[in-house]
Structures are given as structure tokens and as C-alpha cells.
Structure 1
Amino acid sequence: MDSSSDGSMAAQSAPDQTEDDQAEPGPKGLFGRLFSAFSPAEAGGGALSPQDRAFAIAQSSLTLPGIANLRRLRVDDVAIPKVEIVAVPVDIGKEDLVAVFREHGFSRLPVYRETLDQPLGLVLLKDLALQHGFNGNGSFDLKTLLRPLLYAPPSMPIGVLLQKMQRERVHMALVIDEYGGVDGLVTIEDLIETVIGEIEDEHDEVEGPLWTLEKPGVYMAQSRTPLDEFEAEIGLRLRREEEDEEIDTLGGLVFLRTGRVPVRGEIVPHESGAEFEVIDADARKIKRLRVRLPGAVAAPVGGRALPAEQPLHSG
């Protein structure tokens, strides 16, 4: 797909991105060899039941990454939804484009004509800087900077898309629905993180303590907070059901209660009377939670209530 392509190619490209891509010729590369190393029996025996797939998503999002996720998870399990995609129109000016890159800290952005359902390609910050930065001269035309995008159906295994990204040297793909419209976006970093865990770069904020006491009975906690430690701190048992014994983190507990990754701002009630408010989350995992304990005031075990600004645990 070149810079002269129009949005109609999205609908044409989507049907070609099927699970048959596993049989495409050519060198497999590192990810291809890793993906092939797992036979269907080892990877779970073909298609998973909805319950098994939900459990696989929970494991990859909230606990352990692993190479088996290349077969277990689909593109729609890791893609960010359409409403969260940061993209720019093809007629955007240079200064406005620089402002978008600066505001969001991304290194590449999708480019569209009129609406996001008419994608044209990809613009890289590196290309913009090399051609129009460093006191560069000349008129600005975003079309001359466009690079091709990949398209993938929601049901494609993430291992197949990872091979395709490696082979075609494209690090971003749009998820296309059955009608040819854009449904989400996934990057090569999103896929690799399901195997090796979260990748932090210089733009990521440094994580603070596992939890802090905002005010009596209200905690701000990271989703990776160990359940047993947090239960000891608040003096309340949160594991209630037998299946809860398999979950080790606060985020995992909330995931089980909802059966999915809840969205930002969502409040998840707990049978103990506590409430979990999702403060930060993406399409794949919960990041931070606000925990409201039952009752107006709840002192930690041992009566060690501290001022709201003072962290209770440094992890």
C-alpha cells in the first residue's frame, strides 16, 4: 500500500489477512520458528472454548506472559479499541502534526482521508524529522511521507500477525471488521509483550508504590498488587470463591468478577461491600485501581493508618 492508496483498500485487504497466512512461503524468521515450535496439542489443541480463551487472556494480561499466547490469543484480544486510536488526517499541517507527536509521545501514527475508516498509511516521526526537521526547507505534503499499513481481521492469531509484521517490516496494523471498517489498532510491541511481558521505555512513567492510602478506607493500588499482602493490610478477605484461589493479584480478582478487562472509570462491586474503580486500563490489562472499603473508616491491620500522601508499601 503506497501513498496514493485510498480507504477502499482497507476493505480489500482485510479478507486476505486470514489464518491461511500461516502457510505463506518464505523464511519464517525468529518468531515464525518459535510459533511453529508449538504443535496444536502443546498449544491447547486448536480452537479454545470461550472459557479457556478468557482464562488465557487473564493469564497473559494480569499474570504470566508466555510464548503459548502466540496461538491462544487473537488480534482482538490485544488491540486497542477504535475510540482510543490516535490518528491524523492527510491534510494536516506540519506544525499540527508535530504537536500531535509531542502530545502523545508516539513514534508513528495512522493517516486517514476524511474518517479513520479510510486509512491511507502510516507516518513515522523519524521521516518527519529527517525531511522537515533540523532546519529543513521545502513545502510540506504528508502524502510524500506515507508508509504502508498492515490490516488484520479480529480473529487472526497474534502469532500469525507477528510473523507478517516481521516479514513485511511494518510495526503497526489496523484491525478491520467484516464490513471493511476500522475496529482497532495493534503494534508489534503489543504482540511481543504477550510473550515476554511489559516493555518499558523512556516515555513510560516510573511506577510508584504498590498501594497508597488516599484517605481512611480508600486506597490507590496497582493491579499487580499481591492479593495476600493487600488483604493483610486492609484486614479484609477479598478471595471469596473457590476460583479466586487461582488469582494472585488485585487486577486478576477484578478481571474474574467482570469476565473481561473493564474500561477506565468503571466501578466493579465486590460481595464484601468493597468497590473497585478502574483508574487506568488499556484493551489488554488493568493498570491501576481505587479500592473503597466498606464503611466510612477502615484502619489497616495493627491500626497503622497513615496520612493520604504517605505510601504504605514500596513493593
Structure 2
Amino acid sequence: MKTFAYSRAESPEAAVAAGGRFIAGGTNLLDLMKLQIETPESLVDISRLDLAKIEEREDGGLTIGALVPNSDLAADPRVIAGYPVLSRALLAGASGQLRNKASTGGNLLQRTRCYYFYDKATACNKREPGTGCSAIGGVNRILAILGTSEHCIATHPSDMAVAMRALDATIVTLKSDGDRRRIAIGEFYRLPGDTPQIENVLEAGELITHVELPTPPKGEQLYRKVRDRASYAFALVSVAGIVSVEDGKIASAALAFGGLGPMPWRDPAVEAALIGQAPSDAAFAAAADALLKDAKGYGTNDFKIPLTRRTLIASLRELTGVSA
């Protein structure tokens, strides 16, 4: 680990004025620093800021402080009752020890677990722009089949962010000039294109302070995660689903996916294929067709395409009560 300066912020305003990298739980950043993948000159400790509360809003939604630990968020009775998809997604991620330390804001900013991103002996455009993508033509079992480019096929690793995407969360930030922003999570992440090192729309020195959830949605909620082992593994495919059925037809649907793309993936065409349809395997297959229309495998991750189809159909059966 390279030498760095360290300071502790006493307020969000002091943190953004300090001009360094923010550290809270550090469950991802410290690993990257040890491997010298990230080498910040200055760390600003925000772990003691007053941003660890979950508060109810007048509209019935929740405001979640950026420093709320993942374990506390998953166990909050209001989250369990109104947003079970979020609680289940959090409990599907990492280990209990990491959930106790990892923060809500930091979870949104996790970096990919692509093997080549972590291996400095290989080419990686995300780690070192312009060097190439070793994952294309390499070992890419866990990597993306949607939203990729010729420069990067990495996936975003968060489970929590997938549930947040299905819930239409809003990310609240404080910029270095003191202005605040509210960013819909659907507009927060960026596709890799030819700049895969730029992963989101945050400006330099911009701090996530809160995440807002709207009023709890109607319908059944589910988080289904398919992975290589039962715990402490990132998703090959995951589905965060919220579906309501009225008068025998699907009245509303929100579906987000993990393990498939460079961001928590949500495609309006998937939901459009379901709304107004009677729950059936035919309707579910049409939704899968819409999701996978542009899917592309890269060799060792080709299996993700049929796996995603089966996982989505199984999830929709559970959400709507259709028997296999």
C-alpha cells in the first residue's frame, strides 16, 4: 500500500471541502489500495458523520443515510415490511461481518470483481484506460452479457443496488461547491462505451449523503440470486422483482437484474411485455425474449443467456403464483 494522507471529517461540508477520497466501511477500497489498483493520495474518513439514520418521510417513503450499515438496513422493520426485496438482496450479499461494516453509500460504489481488473499483470481498460480488455477472449464466466462494449465486459457486483433499481431509489449527494443533487438510480450509472473507467455520474469530490425510497410498492416482492456457491459469492444472475396482479392480469411490474451488465440492469421493454397480460409461461417467455434480445456471450459466460431465461421465468412464477 502506498503512502497516503489521512483526515477525519466533522461534517459533510468539511468532507467535500477536503478534496480526498472518502472512506467509510472501506470493505472494497482498502482491498483495492492493498493491491495498488487504487492509490489515492488522501483519504477523508466520513465514518463518524451523522449519516447513519433511517427516517420515515411524510410521503410514506424512507430516507436512508449513506452510512447505514448493510446489516442494519436489512434488519430494519420498516424495510422488512415495506421493501422486503431490499432486505433479501442485502442478506444475499457478502458475509455477516462485511454487512456489519459496509455502508449504504459505499455499496452503490463497489467496483467490479472482474478477475483482470484485479490482476495488474493483465490489460484492463477499467483499471488502465487504453490497454485493452483481457476478459474478452479470456475467462469471463462472471462477466456481462448486456450493455457491454468492445472496451469492457465487466459487471457491477452489488446486490443492494439491484433492489434499489427495482424500487426506483433516488441518490442524494453533496457537491464540492456546496450544491446538492438528487439523482434517480436509473441515471446514476454509466455504460462502459469507450470510457469504462467512468462508472457513474458523480463529480470529483461529490459525496453521497442519503438514498431515498418512494412509498412501498404494491404487489409481491422477490430477490432471487443464482451463484456458484451458497454464500459469499457474487451473482451469476439475480432478479429483484415487484409484481402486482389485479383481476387476473399483471397490473404493474418492476424487474431489475444483477450479474448481467455493468450496472444494475432494468429494461422497460421487459415490464411492458408483462403488464396487461394474464400470468402464464407464455407471457414470462415474452418478457425473457425482451430482456435477452441484445444479449451477447463471450465464451465462458455463454451459459448466462439460458440461465437468465430460466431464472426470470422461475421468479415470475413465484411472484404471480403460477405453478411450474
State the TM-score, normalizing by the size of structure 2: 0.25
Question: Which protein is richer in helix relative to its size?
Answer: 1
Normalising by structure 1, what TM-score? 0.26
Relative contact order higher in (CA < 8 Å, ≥ 6 apart):
1
